[in-house]
Structure 1
């Protein structure tokens, strides 16, 4: 593990003492920043930006230069893997991601390749290594991927924002078909994250955006068990690299999530942080969980909301402050700054003697 000037984030994930609570934001490099919008315009479109390692580096560093954050996160998208599988990914203005060739039968699943991170996804690895070089020893870099269930949802539905009827129909009527798709995605995500670590990621996060739409038993079978296989793979090949799991609306599953061997769990704002800490004990660190909509409130209200999150977790290490999901597009950048400054100013009181 490289020696970093600021390693609060990594120490908090390992529940080691820190002088203050580390903070970063999901989607911290994004549309709410004018400098990001300028770079994206230069790239031409979203996927062109994702496929340009130098521009990915530029937008990854933008929030670090603006705010005093404790971690960088790779600028990319969770759909890079299904895109590399040849499904014809497009981003439609006002609609989001669309696949020209959704996967809905046995033949289509059998034909799916497991993308090689060093060929089909080389642009992501080049972005990781470019960002790592630019960061030097300044901060840790987070790599990430979508969870198999979440990727499968997009691949079967053909788009986002659905009622999940197709993917749930497959799960209920032909579970062996979905198992085959998830197995390919487990293999793909495992080697993808392994390659990101080899390229310079100091921690990795699995985004399970749609796991919360499943009933408990289905969540375990179709979402959690595939993620547990990914964690097991990463712990074999890179045992010192922290792994974060985040299931949106997954607060009821924290105990079983903590049993996967991951290092930390991300929480959205629908889960009480104090209750979560009681339930998982010292098994994992916790990350979150301010509602992103709080950043549309006044600075004083934002500071009060930050204080409540810190109070909810309480004293000691093992907490990474974050939003409960990605920062919203029209968030005033200065309000994000208020939140970060409040964490910096208020959190040392929760780490006495560190």
Structure 2
């Protein structure tokens, strides 16, 4: 049987030691809307029990010994243990809507890559889709090459699209608040398809709704860091910053040094190693990690890929990525 972890957008994923988040399996909203995925943010060695996770400290600009690290799509088809589980549970909805299975999948990379531990050594991450990206999937009926349908609506019936975007924005505010109240310590917003918009259209159909989400969440959860990721966002970096998020996640098509200069020192950055680098030799992977960390600097950087782990990536290379990352000392 074949299996797929692909999904249009990650509505909610939790990076958590299992004891830190408890969600009732009888909650229908959880079954219908939540996919739990463990996304470990590795902490420094031998932290005291009172020290917060490395990721949170790095985002705030505190002095840390190395960058925190996690990988988008680090639980998935490249892992043998996941493929074996897919053979037993071939339906994606079964794997994503069953709490026990979702937790089991979430823990696979945690167990495989031997991070520094649990308790305060890991951060809890939640995920949501941004309004324009959610609207794109609804209007296009799935992924798209040219996004002609949603652009037709944007340019012919903008009031209709704005009404839909407003609904999604309000829903995502509530969803982020729900995740934070359930234990999420950081939330990443995916606006995967907003980069299909021109800058002027991004300012009309994406940015206002991102700002609304950020402003609304900060009123109720002022200390909750928010990360924004949009693939292919090199032409929109300054506009992404205007959303008010705490972290801009960069894809690999942007030079980290240039991105730092364009964004300034007040916002943290995440990324941005090319996912394809994990097909290279171990020495090559190490060089790319060191290059990225050197360009990002010591302040406010989360080490990650510029996109998710690709299908077919050697599992041992992912393990090597974490090993190298955890061995870095500023």
The question of a shared fold, defined as TM-score above 0.5 by the shorter chain, is answered with: yes
Q: CA deviation at 1:313?
A: 1.2
**Aligned match of 2:102 in 35, 42, 56?**
56
Q: Distance in 2 between matches of 1:155 and 1:263?
A: 28
Corresponding residue SS for 1:172 = helix
Q: CA deviation at 1:9?
A: 0.9
The answer to whether residue 257 in structure 2 is matched with residue 274 in structure 1 is: yes
- Tell me what 1:332 maps to: 314
The answer to whether residue 40 in structure 2 is matched with residue 40 in structure 1 is: no
- Tell me what 1:257 maps to: 240
Q: Distance in 2 between matches of 1:180 and 1:4?
A: 45
Q: Distance in 2 between matches of 1:251 and 1:69?
A: 32
Matched-pair contact (CA < 8 Å) for 2:78–2:311: yes
The answer to whether residue 149 in structure 2 is matched with residue 147 in structure 1 is: no
Q: Distance in 1 between matches of 2:160 and 2:50?
A: 45
Residue by residue over 1:191-223, the C-alpha shift from the partner in whole angstroms, topping out at 9 and shown as x without a partner, is 011101111111000011111111001112112
Structure-1-length-normalised TM-score: 0.76
- Tell me what 1:302 maps to: 285
**Aligned match of 1:67 in 104, 113, 128?**
113
Matched-pair contact (CA < 8 Å) for 1:141–1:203: yes
**Aligned match of 1:197 in 180, 185, 189?**
180
Higher mean C-alpha displacement, 43-52 vs 230-239: 43-52
Matched-pair contact (CA < 8 Å) for 1:4–1:138: no
Corresponding residue SS for 1:47 = helix
Q: Distance in 2 between matches of 1:170 and 1:154?
A: 13
Q: Distance in 2 between matches of 1:42 and 1:199?
A: 29
Matched-pair contact (CA < 8 Å) for 1:23–1:70: no
Q: CA deviation at 1:6?
A: 6.2
What are structure 2's unaligned runs of at least 5 residues?
1-19, 21-48
Residue by residue over 1:15-59, the C-alpha shift from the partner in whole angstroms, topping out at 9 and shown as x without a partner, is 211111111000111111111222333333111111011111111
Q: Distance in 2 between matches of 1:37 and 1:136?
A: 28
Q: Distance in 1 between matches of 2:50 and 2:103?
A: 19
Q: CA deviation at 1:68?
A: 4.4
Matched-pair contact (CA < 8 Å) for 1:5–1:139: no
Q: CA deviation at 1:67?
A: 1.5
**Aligned match of 1:26 in 72, 75, 93?**
72
The answer to whether residue 227 in structure 2 is matched with residue 244 in structure 1 is: yes
Matched-pair contact (CA < 8 Å) for 2:63–2:299: yes
Q: Distance in 1 between matches of 2:168 and 2:84?
A: 34
Q: CA deviation at 1:70?
A: 7.6
Q: CA deviation at 1:308?
A: 1.3
Corresponding residue SS for 2:228 = strand
Matched-pair contact (CA < 8 Å) for 2:54–2:122: no
- Tell me what 2:150 maps to: 167
Q: CA deviation at 1:261?
A: 2.2
- Tell me what 1:114 maps to: none
Q: CA deviation at 1:343?
A: 1.8
Residue by residue over 1:276-301, the C-alpha shift from the partner in whole angstroms, topping out at 9 and shown as x without a partner, is 11122222100000110111111111
Q: Distance in 2 between matches of 1:21 and 1:317?
A: 9
Structure-2-length-normalised TM-score: 0.81
